[in-house]
């Protein structure tokens, strides 16, 4: 495989962006014992786009994210991440692909024994062995981006749910990965706090050009993210209703009992007449 | 009730997974990346953390050994050789076994609980997603620290055990301290020392690797963590007693 490993903290973000898909699922099947979780799932994520995965709990959404990361292997089908086939890759080759992926786990999955700063800088301190000053500066920058700069020395146990999610986002984005995966980042948060998390996701999509998959069953947040965009003027970031030419950057995909039941834009989803989708939307 | 065939199958699967883990640990020990800071932290945690309980175990075991053997030796009028029996039993059997059992309760259970809760809260998956092999980061430092510290703790337990025996010999049995000590030294032969040092190395490796294995296989939320903690103590304790028998048998045929 081509060298994916040549990655440092200051690797240019948008270097060599093409319209090659960043993630491809082709006829993916997965069962745990005799419980079939994914049935013939296919989809494509293009660079710079955001795909929102909807579906009842147990529909297989987290499972798809785990397959993308190579934490789980499908029983059948093909999975490509940045052009590399990950479903048959060895664990050591997977490490190289994971360098380009950031994952925000359900509930955050922050390391209990490390401070906020150590959690966020984990990749720089422990894996890439970036010089400490450089790493500290990047940690401060990223914590500032998610509005958590004052919490750098706190322990995760001292944070609220929303703060934990934002730290988890900061940890996932530390090395400027090309793909971010969010697993229910707003579940269990109050609507106001949820909006602060939604804004981070919009900023990463619109200002950093990250390709992302968002798993959620909070429709409010999903539509807010799909129908808003972030624009930067100087140091200030504003959020406004999305312009028509950028509206297509966010797409919805509905999973129903392990199958893709719908794929389309926010507008198409709002206008759907499918009874299952209508029930889910109401 | 689980059918016996199913039970045997799942037990074999468990053993297979455990052996796979020990293979990965071996590879993680001899190749990079190696997490030195985690090793240092675990050495301290296991060593310092278990010191009090190991010293207490050693002292009281030595004292009770002196009392009991003193009583038996009186029947032969051989009370003065009490030191010989205390040192031989401490070094060959009780020191290694009791230290390992105490460390299992103190540290093995903690390791299973810690790794288990990292599994159920996705922290282990998060490690992998951040490019870290959890075996190298979590298991290798703990197993190495256990394999190094349990022998050291055992030597300490043996030492304070002999001191405990001394106190009882002098105060209760009226055996002179110098007589006690010369018997302690006479009671120890090279093979005893080899046996006394081989056992804790193997016990330390076994109890920590079992704790890690059970922790990594935790399923089912907080309840699962509780189950893993208990299981790790039971499995490691039984393993220590079985290994003790096997090592004794093997070394006796090799060394004596
Ligand atoms: N490790 C596992 N072992 C057995 N079943 C699992 C495992 N992980 C997930 N499942 C099952 O797979 C289904 C999909 O899980 P998941 O992808 O987590 O759903 P969700 O859409 O809520 O994220 C669920 O029914 C779950 O019980
Ligand atoms: Mg889920």
Helix residue ranges, H only, A84-228: 91-98, 116-120, 122, 132-145, 161-173, 191-206, 219-226
- Number of Cβ within 10 Å of residue A3's Cβ equals 7
pLDDT classification of A282: cutoffs 50, 70, 90? confident
Long-range contacts of A225-232 (CB under 8 A, 24+ apart): A225/A50, A225/A52, A225/A198, A225/A201, A225/A250, A226/A50, A226/A52, A226/A250, A226/A252, A226/A265, A226/A266, A227/A266, A228/A202, A229/A202, A230/A199, A230/A202, A230/A203, A230/A205, A230/A206, A231/A206, A232/A207
Phi, then psi, of B200 in degrees rounded to 5: -65, -30
pLDDT in tens, A5-34: 444 433 333 444 567 899 999 999 999 988
pLDDT classification of B3: cutoffs 50, 70, 90? confident
Q: How many A/B residue pairs have CB atoms within 8 Å? A: 50
Nearest Cβ partner for A99 among B122, B131, B133: B131
pLDDT tops 50 at residue A66: yes
Query: Are B93 and B200 contacting, i.e. CB atoms less than 8 angstroms apart?
Result: no
| Mean pLDDT across A105-134 | 93
Q: Which two structure tokens, joined as six digits, stand for A40?
A: 């013939």
Which residues are within 8 A (CB) of B172 and not within 5 positions of it... i.e. 6 or more apart?
B66, B67, B70
Which residues are within 8 A (CB) of A142 and not within 5 positions of it... i.e. 6 or more apart?
A120, A170, A173, A174
- Check A107 against B130: CB less than 8 A apart: no
State the complex-level ipTM: 0.87
Q: Whose CA is nearest to atom 25 of ligand 1?
A: A58
Question: What does the alpha-carbon distance between residue B142 and residue B150 come to, in Å, rounded to a whole number?
Answer: 12
Min Cα–Cα distance to chain B from A13, Å:
18
The answer to whether the CB of A111 is under 6 A from ligand 1 is no
The answer to whether the CB of A61 is under 6 A from ligand 1 is yes
For residue B121, what is the nearest residue in chain A, using CA coordinates?
Answer: A109
pLDDT tops 80 at residue B88: yes
| Mean pLDDT across A139-160 | 93
- Check B131 against A98: CB less than 8 A apart: yes
- Check B122 against A105: CB less than 8 A apart: yes
Q: E strands of chain A, at which residues? A: 23-32, 35-45, 50-54, 76-81, 84-85, 101-104, 179-183, 211-215, 228-233, 236-241, 250-256, 259-264
Q: What is the pTM of this model?
A: 0.89
Average pLDDT, chain A: 89
The answer to whether the CB of A162 is under 6 A from ligand 1 is no
The answer to whether the CB of A37 is under 6 A from ligand 1 is yes
- Check A71 against B35: CB less than 8 A apart: no
Measured over the CA atoms of residue A184, residue A168, residue A43 and residue A38, the dihedral's sign is: negative
Q: Whose CA is nearest to atom 13 of ligand 1?
A: A58
pLDDT tops 60 at residue A191: yes
- Measured CB to CB, residues of chain A less than 8 Å from chain B are 66, 69, 71, 91, 95, 98-99, 101-103, 105-107, 109-112, 122-123, 126-127, 171
How many angstroms separate the alpha carbon of residue A217 from the centre of ligand 2? 10
Q: Which two structure tokens, joined as six digits, stand for B78?
A: 């051989």
Q: Which residues of A touch B131 (CB under 8 A)?
A: 95, 98-99, 123, 127
pLDDT tops 90 at residue A245: no
Q: Are strands A259-264 and A250-256 parallel, antiparallel or unpaired?
A: antiparallel
Q: Which residues of A touch B129 (CB under 8 A)?
A: 69, 71, 98, 101-103, 105
Residue B2 pLDDT? 65
- Check B122 against A101: CB less than 8 A apart: no
- Measured CB to CB, residues of chain B less than 8 Å from chain A are 33, 35, 117-118, 121-123, 125-126, 128-133, 137
B180: helix, coil or strand? helix
Q: Where are the domains of chain A?
A: 109-176
| Mean pLDDT across A178-184 | 95
pLDDT classification of B62: cutoffs 50, 70, 90? very high
Identify which has the larger pLDDT, B77 or B126. B126
- Check B129 against A98: CB less than 8 A apart: yes
Atom of ligand 1 nearest to the CA of A215: 23
Phi, then psi, of A253 in degrees rounded to 5: -140, 125
Instruction: From B212, B236, B246, B90, select the one nearest B154 (Cα to Cα).
Output: B90
With DSSP H G I counted as helix, E B as strand and the rest as coil, what are the percentages for chain A, rounded to 5?
35, 25, 35
How many angstroms separate the alpha carbon of residue A59 from the centre of ligand 2? 8
Q: Of A99-108, A187-196, B16-25, B240-249, where does mean pLDDT reach its minimum? A: A187-196
The answer to whether the CB of A59 is under 6 A from ligand 1 is yes
- Check A103 against B128: CB less than 8 A apart: no
């Amino acid at each position: 495989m081509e060298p994916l490993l040549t990655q440092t903290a200051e690797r240019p973000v948008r270097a060599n962006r093409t319209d090659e898909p960043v993630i491809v699922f082709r006829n993916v099947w997965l069962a745990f014992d005799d419980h079939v979780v994914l049935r013939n799932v296919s989809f494509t994520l293009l660079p710079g786009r955001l795909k929102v995965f909807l579906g009842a709990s147990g529909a297989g959404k987290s499972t798809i994210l785990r397959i993308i990361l190579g934490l789980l292997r499908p029983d059948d089908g093909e999975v490509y991440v940045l052009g590399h086939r990950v479903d048959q890759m060895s664990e050591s080759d997977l490490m190289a692909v994971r360098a380009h992926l950031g994952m925000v786990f359900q509930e955050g999955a922050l390391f209990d024994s490390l401070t906020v700063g150590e959690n966020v800088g984990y990749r720089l301190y422990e894996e890439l062995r970036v010089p400490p000053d450089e790493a500290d500066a990047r940690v401060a920058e990223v914590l500032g981006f998610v509005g958590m700069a004052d919490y750098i020395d706190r322990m995760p146990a001292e944070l609220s749910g929303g703060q934990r999610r934002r730290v988890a986002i900061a940890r996932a984005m530390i090395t400027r990965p090309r793909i971010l995966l969010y697993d229910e980042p707003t579940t269990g948060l109050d609507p106001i706090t949820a909006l602060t998390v939604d804004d981070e996701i919009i900023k990463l999509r619109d200002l950093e050009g990250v390709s992302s998959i968002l798993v959620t069953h909070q429709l409010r947040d999903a539509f807010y993210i799909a129908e808003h965009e972030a624009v930067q003027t100087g140091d200030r970031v504003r959020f406004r209703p999305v312009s028509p030419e950028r509206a297509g950057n966010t797409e919805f995909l509905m999973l129903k009992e392990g199958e893709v039941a719908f794929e389309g834009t926010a507008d198409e989803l709002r206008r759907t007449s499918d009874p299952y989708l209508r029930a889910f939307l109401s | 009730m689980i059918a016996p065939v199913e039970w045997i199958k799942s037990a074999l699967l468990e053993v297979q997974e455990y052996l796979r883990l020990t293979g990965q640990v071996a590879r993680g020990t001899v190749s990079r990346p190696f997490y030195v800071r985690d090793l240092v932290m675990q050495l301290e945690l296991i060593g310092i953390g278990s010191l009090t309980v190991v010293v207490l175990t050693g002292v009281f075991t030595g004292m009770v050994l002196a009392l009991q053997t003193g009583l038996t030796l009186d029947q032969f009028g051989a009370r003065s050789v009490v030191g010989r029996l205390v040192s031989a039993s401490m070094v060959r059997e009780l020191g290694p076994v009791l230290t390992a059992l105490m460390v299992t309760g103190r540290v093995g259970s903690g390791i299973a609980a810690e790794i288990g809760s990292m599994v159920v809260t996705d922290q282990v998956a998060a490690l992998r997603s951040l490019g870290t092999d959890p075996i190298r980061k979590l298991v290798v430092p703990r197993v190495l620290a256990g394999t190094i510290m349990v022998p050291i703790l055992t030597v300490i337990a043996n030492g304070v055990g002999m001191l405990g025996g001394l106190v009882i010999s002098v105060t209760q049995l009226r055996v002179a301290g110098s007589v006690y000590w010369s018997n302690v030294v006479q009671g120890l032969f090279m093979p005893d020392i080899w046996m006394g040092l081989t056992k804790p190395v193997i016990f330390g490796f076994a109890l920590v690797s079992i704790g890690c294995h059970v922790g990594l296989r935790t399923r089912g939320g907080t309840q699962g963590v509780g189950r893993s903690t208990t299981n790790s103590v039971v499995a490691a304790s039984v393993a220590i007693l079985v290994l003790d028998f096997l090592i004794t048998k093997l070394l006796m045929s090799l060394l004596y």
